[in-house]
A and B are shown apart, each in its own frame.
Chain A
């Protein structure tokens, strides 16, 4: 039951889950920070990434191609969603934005359910990463270890885009003051489209990476969305480092509580969120005025 190897392996589970949450939350938070739209269909994006990858995998048998297909498909879907619907909502109240993205999320889930049924689908991890690795003091599934590495690389890529490119500079400036960026002669709407695509892609990428860990169902994104919200509230809206910190905290809380009693995982997560709200209402790394 509760012993050192068990505890350590839960810590690793928490790390893997936390890394995934960090990646998904980063997508959500940069979209919100830049566009001012909270995408309630973000969980559906995560789910679709998994399914798009599953389709690619069943045709090609290649996990790498599945990852590429999953991410690209969701990015295209995100861009299309922004072009066709979201852009009409920039000047409407927050409630309307929440309602429309919520409705879109349900449509996405139901479309997937219609095509793939509610039965769970399995994507096996790539041959190279199957099996168990010995860490000396415990044996741990190789793929889960790899997930931490893969997601860390993806987060590093996102960091490079946000902090080392012109686009990233515009995005970060837009998070602080999008009106100002607009009046500097930068076409914010084109940036919005790209950001929405990147943010969605982060969720889609996470979706296919997670597919070998948890089997795919149309509802797989719903729980993730709730966890992502907690991450964003803990980390602070619009903060990329906040999303990473919040993701790791949430992942560890869920894993470690699950070791004692899985029923309390969400209660503890919620308690942590409440604590942050009381002590630092703007999130651990958030700044005032970003909502």
Chain B
């Protein structure tokens, strides 16, 4: 939605900001109200990147708003620093630096812990402003006398004073803020942000250092907050201490939710609604102190019934009226579904001949993975015991075993999701024991999950882009202003993966609208898009209908050309058809290893399955 036409949103924003002084007075907006809305909107741009795009709900943004505001105001008043714009930038940097330090602590935990820690942090800042630092901040009096900015353009000097004059300066700041925020959201970093929001576990598993990216989002939000805080002082000619209160953070959260999270403009819309309702309820209706109750009720109702806020609601309404989103897409997708299901052979054979790029550094023969004495103990339970396991380059290995044999635990240890109690894992000649999932994926070892782990809020293409990015950019890179389309090899890799997993007809379908079999293929696609030299597949056939199984086995065959793969599955017929060698696990140990023929005729295997667990072969 945000990247259909280049610069359209930037242009519309500029047009809106230019027209506002001519239109808004007719709607009863005082210039000071509009200016306050802009400051809140700018504050909210950063917060929306943190909350709407990355999914981190912070109740502590007032800490950075206040920090930026007071640093700038202190420089401009007590310290006698003459350059307003520079002071604002210094305030922003101070807030960003504070954000970095606070982020290191707050991001140690996620979810509600994160929310609670940010609340506590904001409260500390409030008290610090009031007491230990009151010599610098003026305590409860704040800092009066913040000057207004002027721009020296060489040939002339522009002075921005109050009202619509100051509006020009604030509008310029807001516009720059929007342009930067849009670039960030459209950059590879922005793509990883939304991956973290939708499924942090998978974002880690496809090779992104999500802690680094979360910290980035946190610092960005702090920087925006700091700059907006400085503007608040300029706007009021006074830096108020209540910038630091919990109410400030709360109001920002509420305005963002009212306007619509994940839209960048939501906070601006929310602030407009908030401030104009406040004026209206207080002045026109004479409600006095009850205005906040009305806004609280409006907020609760919006959270209950309009999850995506006003902008999200309008977008849905627009979609409903034009029949674009809610109405048309399911109709369109139905026949496609049938088409995909009815012509699997054609589609798969079309994908099969596409050349598979081998990793250049991979040596052609010898062992790619060697596990020695791998043991995992959970308390008294021995999940895996002393497993020796070697897979050669180019091999397709199958692993079978009754339920509870320790197959999934074994895979989790190979991909370093869990660490072995003892034993070692060597991958491509490197000891990876004790490394983390992200680093192991970066080395070229990843897996597809037994239970789908997709980025459920994104489209098929966006899912694959996120996985492909990790291979092309590494686990952490701050290319904040780079367009995602300008990354060499990205679109080719995504297209190639789409073909491999037979999803070329539905690249722009949201994951939530996919059929189960398609989700299962996308699950494999996510692992493939990281371009692994060793791919582990945990029960790729689980839950599929017999016809889907046939289809997927063909798919796996085409994927396996030029790749090394290990597949766990209960479907022995399928595995015996696919695999060159099969390892049988039972009760956490390797029971036997050999070619499919040897396994079929092995008496201990027959005993393990037929003697112990009847019906496994039938399934």
Q: Which residues of A contact B (CB under 8 A)?
A: 32, 38, 85, 88, 92, 94-96, 98-100, 102-104, 106-107, 110-111, 113-114, 118, 222-223, 225-226, 229-230, 232-233, 237, 261-267, 269-270, 273-274, 277-278, 281, 291
Chain B residue with Cβ nearest A230: B120
Which of A88, A98, A103, A110 sits near B115, CB closer than 8 Å? A98
| Least distance between A267 CB and chain B CB atoms (Å) | 6
Interchain CB contact under 8 A, A233 and B132 = no
- Pick from B34-42, B121-129, B222-230 the stretch touching chain A: B121-129
Interchain CB contact under 8 A, A226 and B246 = yes
Chain A residue with Cβ nearest B254: A103
Interchain CB contact under 8 A, B293 and A266 = no
Given contacts A98-B112, A267-B124, contact A229 B290 (CB under 8 A): no
Q: Which residues of B contact A (CB under 8 A)?
A: 51, 55, 57, 59, 105, 108-113, 115-117, 119-121, 123-124, 127-128, 130-132, 246, 250, 253-254, 257, 289-290, 292-293, 296-297, 299-300, 303-304, 307
Interchain CB contact under 8 A, B293 and A100 = no
Q: Give the chain B neighbours of A262 by CB distance below 8 A.
A: 131
Q: Give the chain B neighbours of A261 by CB distance below 8 A.
A: 131-132
- Tell me the interface secondary structure of chain B in the complex: helix
Which of B123, B250, B293 sits near A107, CB closer than 8 Å? B293
Interchain CB contact under 8 A, B132 and A96 = no
Given contacts A263-B130, A270-B120, A277-B108, contact A103 B113 (CB under 8 A): no
Given contacts A103-B254, A277-B117, contact A267 B304 (CB under 8 A): no
Q: Give the chain A neighbours of B250 by CB distance below 8 A.
A: 102, 106
Which of B113, B120, B253 sits near A102, CB closer than 8 Å? B253
Chain B residue with Cβ nearest A273: B120
Interchain CB contact under 8 A, B120 and A226 = yes
Chain B residue with Cβ nearest A105: B296
| Least distance between B99 CB and chain A CB atoms (Å) | 16
CA distance A226 to B304 in the complex (A): 25
CA distance A278 to B124 in the complex (A): 18
Given contacts A106-B250, A264-B131, A265-B127, contact A229 B119 (CB under 8 A): yes
Interchain CB contact under 8 A, A291 and B300 = no
Given contacts A94-B112, A100-B303, A233-B117, contact A266 B292 (CB under 8 A): no
Q: Give the chain A neighbours of B303 by CB distance below 8 A.
A: 96, 99-100, 103
Interchain CB contact under 8 A, B116 and A229 = yes
Q: Give the chain A neighbours of B246 by CB distance below 8 A.
A: 222, 226
Given A103-B303, A225-B119, 17 more pairs with CB closer than 8 A: A38-B115, A88-B304, A94-B57, A96-B307, A99-B57, A99-B257, A102-B250, A226-B120, A229-B120, A261-B131, A263-B128, A263-B131, A265-B127, A267-B127, A278-B108, A291-B111, A291-B113
Which of A92, A95, A237, A277 sits near B57, CB closer than 8 Å? A95
| Least distance between A72 CB and chain B CB atoms (Å) | 24
Q: Give the chain B neighbours of A88 by CB distance below 8 A.
A: 304
Chain A residue with Cβ nearest B129: A263
Chain A residue with Cβ nearest B297: A107
CA distance A291 to B246 in the complex (A): 24
CA distance A233 to B290 in the complex (A): 34
Given contacts A85-B304, A264-B131, contact A38 B112 (CB under 8 A): yes
Q: Give the chain A neighbours of B293 by CB distance below 8 A.
A: 107, 110-111, 113-114
Q: Give the chain B neighbours of A111 by CB distance below 8 A.
A: 293
Complex A-B, nearest 9 residue pairs according to Cβ-Cβ distance, in ascending order: A263-B131, A110-B293, A229-B116, A103-B300, A106-B296, A107-B296, A38-B112, A103-B299, A266-B127
CA distance A77 to B289 in the complex (A): 23
| Least distance between A192 CB and chain B CB atoms (Å) | 17
Q: Give the chain A neighbours of B292 by CB distance below 8 A.
A: 106, 110
Q: Give the chain A neighbours of B108 by CB distance below 8 A.
A: 277-278, 281
Interchain CB contact under 8 A, B121 and A233 = no
Interchain CB contact under 8 A, B109 and A266 = no
Q: Give the chain B neighbours of A270 by CB distance below 8 A.
A: 120-121, 124
Interchain CB contact under 8 A, A264 and B132 = yes
Interchain CB contact under 8 A, A38 and B127 = no
Q: List 8 A-B contacts (CB under 8 A).
A: A85-B300, A94-B112, A99-B253, A110-B293, A229-B116, A229-B119, A230-B120, A266-B123
CA distance A113 to B288 in the complex (A): 11
| Least distance between A271 CB and chain B CB atoms (Å) | 9
Interchain CB contact under 8 A, B123 and A267 = no
CA distance A277 to B106 in the complex (A): 9
| Least distance between A10 CB and chain B CB atoms (Å) | 18
Interchain CB contact under 8 A, B300 and A233 = no
Q: Give the chain A neighbours of B130 by CB distance below 8 A.
A: 263
| Least distance between A175 CB and chain B CB atoms (Å) | 14
Interchain CB contact under 8 A, B289 and A226 = no
Q: Give the chain A neighbours of B105 by CB distance below 8 A.
A: 274, 277-278
Q: Give the chain B neighbours of A225 by CB distance below 8 A.
A: 119
Interchain CB contact under 8 A, A267 and B128 = yes
CA distance A99 to B52 in the complex (A): 13
CA distance A281 to B105 in the complex (A): 10
Given contacts A263-B127, A263-B130, contact A95 B51 (CB under 8 A): yes
| Least distance between A180 CB and chain B CB atoms (Å) | 17
Q: Give the chain A neighbours of B299 by CB distance below 8 A.
A: 99, 103, 106
Which of A92, A263, A277, A291 sits near B112, CB closer than 8 Å? A291
| Least distance between B296 CB and chain A CB atoms (Å) | 4
Given contacts A106-B299, A237-B112, contact A267 B132 (CB under 8 A): yes
